[in-house]
Structure 1
Amino acid sequence: MTHPPVGVRTEYLLDAGSSRSVGAALQPVLAEIRTVLGASVGLVGYRPRTPDARLLMLAVDAPGDPDPPLPNEPFHLSGCPPRRRPSVVADLRLSSALRPRQLLLRSALVVPWADQHGDGLVIVGRTCAAPAFPGTATDLVRRLGGSVRRTVSSGRRLGAVEINRDLQRAMKEVAAAAVGCTDVAETLTTLLMSAQRLFGSDVAYLSLPELDVETFTFDQTLGIRTPDFRHLRIRDGQGLGGLARSLRQPVRSLNYACDSRLHAAPVAETAREGIVSAMATPIIVDEQVEAVLYVGDRRLHPFSETDEEVLAEFAAYATLGLKRRATEAYRRDVLRRQEQERLAYDLHDTAVRGLLEIGFAAEQVRDDLSGAPDVQASLATIAAAAERSMEALRGRLDLLVGGSTRRTAGDVLEEIAEASLRPDAGHRFLVRTPDSVLPDAVADALIRIGQEALVNVDLHAGSAAEVRLDVTAEEWVLSVTDAGGGARPACTSGTGSREHAHLGVLAMQRAADRVHGKVERLPAPSAEGFLVRATVPAGEGR
């Protein structure tokens, strides 16, 4: 007798990861039953024999339904008789346990079935008023229902093949990155990418402990867009990751905003990020939780207990590639970098913004004064000194942060957003391109230009701004548009005279010059405000 390799399972109870084999196997059987009976909806439900298990939808056949039940979505039944034999039921109501979604079947045929792992139901019904199904239909469904049990079993075996294949691929990727563990950051990035592919999730992110080991902070992220979420600090027992740490096992949240198990959860930050469903698992090295791995989706995703099992298997293998000493050194480096960034942002919020306001005020008074050339000269000197000091300080801040590399278009917009003087103004940040990596020089220039333009909006306009980054094969184009509400300097072009240019405009033009780009200030195309547009040829930095 041959045995499967260690770590390879021959059957998983439910669809999980990217596998949909159970549902795909049931679909033609369910469609046949529904068609023979002239029904509008066919469902296969299943309740595992595990504590607190709910009825899950294994498969759905509902042509024309724009919002059918999701794979593994839990439902409540009302109006179903308790007896375990086929029956015809009127007004059977199915209510989702995750969302305000109900399905009312005016006439339904319910056929129970079971296997060694749980109890199931085949439900075939009509959503509109129609004659009830004849009693003889139960015999037909009983015969066809027998094939449902066999089909579920074969679907599970096929699913196990797919899940094992995906797991082995992910584990090989992590193992290859972890050889020698010379670069823990690269290993952790590979870990995130492999987890994201394994589950086909929208986002994946990893938290590491701070000096206070009770508090974890997000270090590496994939698909995360908002600074508030990226900078969260999670204590033991707090939120999804804190619960996974305290239980030392994977935890899933199908609808994060409504999950009553989560203590002091960052619901607002998670909602702004757009994450609806998520899972978290601790990564344990030498009996210590060294990290927490998360995967999540921006749509409702009914993660199953099998998804938890797959995530646990992946995390258990991933720990083999993380040597504790190297992980500790990396954690200290992360904490040092985060402290430097915090200091840099604090300095930006105080000194740089103060210099900006001094320069703007000096320019405004200079432009308002008539005559008094000595006073105008003094004010011009103040504005020029503020500009030089601001440029020098920003250069030092760049050195302090360490010059971020491999920034995507989304990272560029995030750094621009962090410079806003009015973070609650409702500024919109859009990427009109695949989120690809920008050359460092181009990213630095666009960030500098975008920050200057956004601060200018915050100081002089009463409206919110739209910041958009477009990438084509020929150029990078950053646009900052506002709807007006205040007085600003006149429109200029990157090719025009700089003798009387505005303080912020000079900084933008200099940043553009460094990458052979140009900056234009134009009337907004559909509003009373202004458009600042920076264009950099795509050949720069590539």
Structure 2
Amino acid sequence: MTVPGIDTEFSALLSLLDRTAALRRSAEIVHRVLGADLAAGANRIAEDDTMEVVAVVGGRTEALNGLVVRPQEGLGGQAAVLRRTAAVADYCLSRAITHDFDHAVRAEGLHAVMAAPIVRAHRLYGLLYAARRTTVPWTDGDRTALLGLARQTAVAMEVADSAREMAEVAVFSERQRLAMRLHDSVGATLFSLRVALTSARTAAEAGADATLELLADALALTERATSELRAQTHSLHQAPEDKALAVALQGDCLDFFERTGVAAELVVLGDLPPLDTGRTDVLRRTAREALLNVEKHAGAHSVVVSLYTFEGGVGMTVADDGMAGDITLHDDRGLGLWTMAERVERVGGRVSCVGNDEGGGTVRVWVPAARAFQPAEP
């Protein structure tokens, strides 16, 4: 069964390259297309198919966020074990499931609940939930639609896992290459230094006149090793020009998480066109300001920073799932973003700040590439 609105969003789902972001987007689609009062996505976090709810759309409380669902527990645990869609008309009164999570369900005022396993090639990735605050039962069409979206979400999560694996392989490959460079340069010099110092000690013990000369050679080798080590360390620290922006934003996301405890992920979609230093700096400062606003005002559980090629330049979004999605560039709380908007416009770009229908806010920025220029919209 094809449900309008689902298949058309599949390509966007695939492009996220992040498990949590894919689950949240899927929950948003369930909430909108199936007309659910609440939708949620859970991620598999253990080999025994234990799940954790990481994305909730349409929630009134925090009761479901972070909920851990083990096999057979509640409706989701049952769907995970059976590998098929499960549904009840009134969750807290159903005799077909366990009632480990009745407190959270009651807190949200939920009755009719449906859960579909996110499965691909017999591998379980997570769960998708749809829920109503009435006892109107789910139809066979609803079940089919949720299961279809769950299968598409499984593909998106598999792609995200593959992208992460490729990134990790690339990192370890680079580490091996750098290890060989250190071995061939600094390691070789230190070996020569050891030989020189051993010769100096032997000469000193024998009372030879060559001791000072050998020590001078050892000192020269020490200086050479220090210089080589400094150069290699600099090369490790210095990101390639085409990766500098992503590396900097990744560091900002990590700093944000360590400061707030709120998950922050960076997603880079494909190769980016070259940017000059000024535009790169504007994007990074805008991202920092957007993250600061999330920290101050949003009460979010997660933030996703995305970089992508768009209209001959680089686009960036900072999207959160908080509760302060009505902030605008002209809001008193958005003074920092308003200042950032001026900076973006000076380099020929544009910026907007909007609230998401399902909660949270999104800051969108575009700047032209190094050889392109597009005037800011009036």
Give the TM-score range, shorter chain: 0.3 to 0.5
Q: Which protein, 1 or 2, shows the higher relative CO under an 8 Å CA cutoff with sep ≥ 6?
A: 2
The structure that is strand-richer by fraction is 1
Query: What TM-score do the two structures reach when normalised by structure 2?
Result: 0.46
The structure that is helix-richer by fraction is 2
Query: What TM-score do the two structures reach when normalised by structure 1?
Result: 0.33
Asked which structure has the greater CA Rg, the reply is 1
